[in-house]
Structure 1
Amino acid sequence: MKTKKGEKEKLRSVILEKAIAYLKKHGQGGSGTEHIMKYMGLTRGALYSHFHSKADLFAQAVCYDLAKLEDSLLMRFQRDGDDAIKKIIEDHLSESSLYNVETSCAFTSLSTDMQRSDEEYRSQYEKYMDRIYALFARALKDQFPNDTEFQSHEKALNLYSGLVGTLTMARTMSDPKKAKEILESGKKFLISQFMKN
């Protein structure tokens, strides 16, 4: 019996939600197909009726998550206005983000796996990266209206890369005190650099 199109799309979204959470925690290398299927309660047939391969599942799960991130950032910039950048920095470098790996930024958890992906998949990730950097660049242009477009773009590269790098380094620390020190230092520095006084 065939699954209706709407039901298939709904199931696909559920699979992607569960897959990205699992992948963020275990990485692509530590996520055998059998483990992923068991975690999601799916059979091999059900999984491969939606995805061509494990690499395809990984890529689609990452793109699904990056699309959600892009929408979330757009909403926050619209909703929070001049305070958006500060709030995003505080949230990204929070203790919650440090420990809740499954729900945090895909770039922080999976950038190495993304870098090892096939070129066709990497080009998809880069399109999301370009749009996310552009969102930050527009917000930074509002913060610093005298900057050129290029200066806003450069600041956006440094700000978002700084958020990802700071959280990544904090997560490498086995000592919670050191991890929190990295977060707090990064938070203070980024706010001082990218928010108007």
Structure 2
Amino acid sequence: MRYSTEHKQQTRDKLLASSGALAKRGGFASTGVAGLMKAIGLTGGAFYTHFPSKDDLFTEVVRRELCNSPLAQGTVDRKRLKRLLDQYLSMAHLHNPEGGCPLPPLGVEIARAERPVREEAEHWLVHLHDAWSLTLGDTQQAWALISQCVGALVVGRMLASEPLQAQVLQASRNQVHKAFDETE
């Protein structure tokens, strides 16, 4: 039985969405093709009608996840960016890796991935950096804030104690606010 082009695209989209959530929750490398396909109710053999390899799927997952981030919406005014970063550095975001930014949970896997995956992440990060640089008027501050925010979530998720997690996030929000004050 042949499926329509629309059905194939819907299945591909479901696979991308499910793979993104699974990767952010438990790691992409640790989930096999059979597990990725099972999550959307299909067999592992059907995978290769959508992607030539698991690396190709990971490249698409990275593209999709990074492009859909609220922080990737281009240049925003200072007030909105500050508000977005406060939301980013929140306990709600810390406790929701599958629904949040892909960089904290997938950064190490992206760094170890094949070049196309890293190039996709680089493309998005440069786009984000350029937008924040325009907003802040400072290219170095933009890189520092990107690193600060991603690092704060990584460290916060490493900790077992919620009070310590909250301290890390608050300290990072304070640094973000200080950076905004310095670039005004």
**Contact conserved, 1:51 with 1:57, CA < 8 A, in 2?**
yes
**Contact conserved, 1:77 with 1:84, CA < 8 A, in 2?**
no
Aligned counterpart, 2:71: 73
Structure 1 residue 191: Cα displacement: 1.2
**Contact conserved, 2:51 with 2:57, CA < 8 A, in 1?**
yes
Pairs within 5 Å for 1:1-197: 1-69=1-69, 72-73=70-71, 75=73, 77-78=75-76, 81-141=77-137, 152-195=138-181
- C-alpha deviations, 1:167-189, integer Å up to 9, x for none? 11000001111111101111111
What is the count of residue pairs matched by the alignment?
A: 183
- C-alpha deviations, 1:3-28, integer Å up to 9, x for none? 33233223212211111000001112
- C-alpha deviations, 1:77-128, integer Å up to 9, x for none? 54xx331121121111111111001011111110100011111321122111
Structure 1: 5+ residue stretches without partners: 142-151
Taking a change above 3 Å as real, the CA distance of residues 33 and 115 of structure 1, as seen in their structure-2 partners, is: same
Taking the aligned partners of 2:106 and 2:72, their CA distance within structure 1 comes to 22
Taking the aligned partners of 2:180 and 2:30, their CA distance within structure 1 comes to 37
Structure 1 residue 129: Cα displacement: 1.1
Taking a change above 3 Å as real, the CA distance of residues 182 and 153 of structure 1, as seen in their structure-2 partners, is: same
2:50 match: secondary structure: coil
Taking a change above 3 Å as real, the CA distance of residues 45 and 32 of structure 1, as seen in their structure-2 partners, is: closer
Taking the aligned partners of 1:66 and 1:75, their CA distance within structure 2 comes to 10
Taking the aligned partners of 1:27 and 1:57, their CA distance within structure 2 comes to 14
**Contact conserved, 2:15 with 2:37, CA < 8 A, in 1?**
no
Taking the aligned partners of 1:74 and 1:124, their CA distance within structure 2 comes to 13
Structure 1 residue 34: Cα displacement: 2.3
- Look up the equivalent residue of 1:95 and give its one-letter code: M
Aligned counterpart, 1:144: none
TM-score, normalised by the number of residues in structure 2: 0.91
- C-alpha deviations, 1:4-58, integer Å up to 9, x for none? 3233223212211111000001112321222222222221132221111222212
Aligned-pair RMSD on alpha carbons?
Answer: 1.8
Taking the aligned partners of 2:72 and 2:125, their CA distance within structure 1 comes to 13
Identical columns (%): 26
Aligned counterpart, 1:148: none
Higher helix residue share: 1
- Look up the equivalent residue of 2:132 and give its one-letter code: F
2:29 match: secondary structure: coil
Structure 1 residue 74: Cα displacement: 5.1
- Look up the equivalent residue of 1:139 and give its one-letter code: T
Structure 2: 5+ residue stretches without partners: none
Taking the aligned partners of 2:32 and 2:72, their CA distance within structure 1 comes to 34
